[in-house]
Amino acid sequence: MGRRSRPRRSRSGRGGTAPVAVRRAAVVVAVEAAAAALLALVLLYLTLTGSPDSVGRALAEVVYVGMAGVLLGAGAVGLWRVSPWARAPVIVLQLLLAVVGYTAAFQADRPLIGLPVLAVVAVELYLLATPEARLAFFGR
């Protein structure tokens, strides 16, 4: 009656499905991308309705956070497809987020913001460092 589902081939040409760790890493990055997009919208709202010291700097911050959301979203899609280009940019973005989380948690004395960011970064880096994830991107 119904069609049999076949495993989807990745666009990277390797075929098969992605390992579980890579799928989970893609989901974590997608959540980060959604959070960055939401933060960009909140910052835009605050910029437009408030009175920032510098509108130009406030809008630049909105653009930077929005760009981070777009890059994280692209990384999530790349990880989901096990694209060879995706792993390194996601790791670099995680390291940048780790700096932001550390600064928020310890230097800005906002542990309720910084510690969750650091936890998500640690989970993402762990998932991308598992042997199955490394083999998925570097071949067998």
pLDDT digits (tens, 9 = 90+) for 70-127: 999 999 999 999 999 999 999 999 999 999 999 999 999 999 999 999 999 999 999 9
Per-residue confidence band for 140, with pLDDT thresholds at 50, 70 and 90 = very low
Task: Answer yes or no: is 79 within a domain.
Answer: yes
**Domain region containing 37:** 20-138
Structural contact between residues 74 and 68, judged by C-beta atoms closer than 8 angstroms:
no
Min mean pLDDT across 15-29, 59-73, 91-105, 123-137 is at 15-29
Task: Answer yes or no: is 68 within a domain.
Answer: yes
CB atoms within 10 A of CB 68: 21
Q: What average pLDDT does range 20-42 have in this prediction?
A: 97
| Amino acid at the residue 39 | L
Total tally of structural domains belonging to the chain: 1
Task: Answer yes or no: is 50 within a domain.
Answer: yes
**How close are the terminal C-alpha atoms of the chain, in Å?**
38
Task: Answer yes or no: is 129 within a domain.
Answer: yes
Task: Answer yes or no: is 10 within a domain.
Answer: no
Task: Answer yes or no: is 11 within a domain.
Answer: no
Q: Is the pLDDT of residue 17 over 90?
A: no
Task: Answer yes or no: is 14 within a domain.
Answer: no
Alpha helices in the chain (DSSP H): 20-49, 55-80, 87-102, 111-129, 131-138
Q: Could you tell me the pTM of the whole model?
A: 0.84
Residue percentage of the chain with pLDDT more than 70: 87
Q: What average pLDDT does range 53-65 have in this prediction?
A: 95
Per-residue confidence band for 138, with pLDDT thresholds at 50, 70 and 90 = confident
